[in-house]
Amino acid sequence: MQPVLEVRDLSISFTQYQGGTRRRVLPVIRRLSLTVTAGEVVAVVGSSGSGKSLLAHGILGILPYNSQMEGELIYQGQPLTPQRAARLRGREIALVPQGVTYLDPLMQVGPQLRRGRRDAGARAESRAVLERYGLGRETEERYPFELSGGMARRVLIASAALQAPKLLIADEPTPGLDARAAGRILGHFRELAQEGAGVLLITHDLELALTIAHRVAVFYAGETVEEAFAADFPAGRLRHPYTQALWNALPGNGFTPISGTQPGPGEEGPGCPFAPRCPRRAADCAGDIPLIEAAGGRVRCLHPEGGKTP
């Protein structure tokens, strides 16, 4: 089946000025690849500050002016140019952003959902979509500041669902919600996938991602290091040593930390960015590491888990 979205070797960098005149180019995302097919939830998991949100902004074509993007974005088999993204975003491609600050603070929820349409059909649609997400009729009259965190999230999802998107991008949709509310929100995404949308879920919470995602792309220091099936995690079929370390660090598993910290943008050495912390590193890890197919998924590692210890 043709994927809804294909991202191939995407890189995003920023041009910054230091001390006024010194220019430097800061690579934030490097060589990111992933695919999303219709009916599927794909999670991108990485720690906060690792540049995950930029992926969403890159796909939508709303990166800030001082950034450069390289690589290929293919949407429904055709290149996703900035012009095409501008036409599709908010319609076929919808974003569920991080928080209430993405709503217009001076506009009530109802008109915000209807986007300027005032006919009876639009009213019925907005009412139906609010009801679908458990929000009463009175929500239409509320301003964003009158919504709780969980309600605001549901309004944002309602706004995206109203367009019946083919690709839905959700950026950190759960922080600040308790487990039950977060579970409900994630359930809505799964539902939209069942109705045929491709869902890209960007999050730092591996445990929550595993509850709804079919596949998981793991992000480390701006690179995708592994694409795995969600079922690979509990089954012990992980490929990359970092993914394995993430899994082992969960409180429900070993709660075992590894030492060191993730390098920030521009701090990575040559070769594998995880090598300094990796139990399986070898001399060749300082060279170029390709993304290779392994056990139905993909891994960017020369000495993946399960293989011989170097």
Give the residue among 93, 60, 96 at the shortest CA–CA distance from 185.
96
For 204, other C-beta atoms within 10 Å of its C-beta total 18
180 binds other proteins (CB under 8 A): yes
The reply to whether 176 sits near other proteins by the rule CB under 8 A is yes
Among 101, 261, 283, 309, which residue interacts with other proteins (rule: CB under 8 A)? 261
- Kindly tell me which of 189 and 242 has the beta carbon lying closer to other proteins: 242
Site for other proteins (CB under 8 A): which residue of 150, 165, 198, 222?
150
- By CB under 8 A, is residue 101 in contact with other proteins? no
Residues 121 and 111 sit within 8 Å (Cβ to Cβ): no
Q: Is 234 helix (H, G, I), strand (E, B) or coil?
A: helix
Q: Rg of the chain's alpha carbons, rounded to an integer?
A: 20
**HSE toward the beta carbon, residue 45, CA cutoff 13 A:** 26
- Tokens 């709660």 map to which residue? 255
Rounded distance between C-alpha atoms, residue 157 and residue 196, angstroms: 16
User: Could you tell me the two tokens for 46?
Assistant: 């990485």
Residue span binding other proteins (CB under 8 A) among the ranges 32-40, 64-72, 242-250, 287-295? 242-250
Task: Give 2 or 148: the residue with its C-beta nearer to other proteins.
Answer: 148
What is the torsion angle, in degrees rounded to the nearest 10, for the CA atoms of residue 6, residue 242, residue 12 and residue 75?
Answer: 10
Cross-strand bridge partners of residue 79: 74
Contact string (CB under 8 A) for other proteins, positions 41-80, x = contact: -----xxxx-------------------------------
Neighbouring C-alpha atoms within 13 Å toward the C-beta of 218 = 29
Q: How far is the CB of 129 from other proteins (least distance, A)?
A: 23
DSSP assignment of 6-62, as one string? EEEEEEEEEEEEETTTEEEEEEEEEEEEEEE-TT-EEEEE--TTSSHHHHHHHHHT-
User: Considering only residues 264, 266, 271, 276, which one is a binding residue for other proteins as defined by CB under 8 A?
Assistant: 264
Per rule CB under 8 A, is residue 256 in the interface with other proteins?
yes
Q: How far is the CB of 49 from other proteins (least distance, A)?
A: 5
Could you write out the DSSP letters of every residue in 137-149? GGGGG--GGGS-H
CA angle 187, 61, 44 (to 5 degrees): 40
| Least Cβ distance, residue 279 to other proteins (angstroms) | 13
CA 221 – CA 35 distance, rounded (Å): 20
Judged by CB under 8 A, the stretch of 103-111, 170-178, 188-196, 297-305 that binds other proteins is 170-178
- Residue 149 in contact with other proteins, rule: CB under 8 A: yes
Residue span binding other proteins (CB under 8 A) among the ranges 52-60, 156-164, 233-241, 257-265: 257-265
In whole angstroms, the minimum distance from the beta carbon of 176 to other proteins comes to: 7
Q: Select the span of 40-48, 103-111, 120-128, 286-294 touching other proteins (CB under 8 A).
A: 40-48
For residues 69 and 249, which CB has a smaller minimum distance to other proteins in the complex? Answer: 249
User: Using the rule CB under 8 A, which residue among 54, 96, 177, 299 binds other proteins?
Assistant: 177
Of 188 and 204, nearer to other proteins (C-beta) is: 204
Does residue number 204 form part of the binding site for other proteins (CB under 8 A)?
yes
The binding site for other proteins (CB under 8 A) comprises 46-49, 148-150, 175-181, 204, 206-207, 245-246, 249-252, 255-259, 261-262, 264
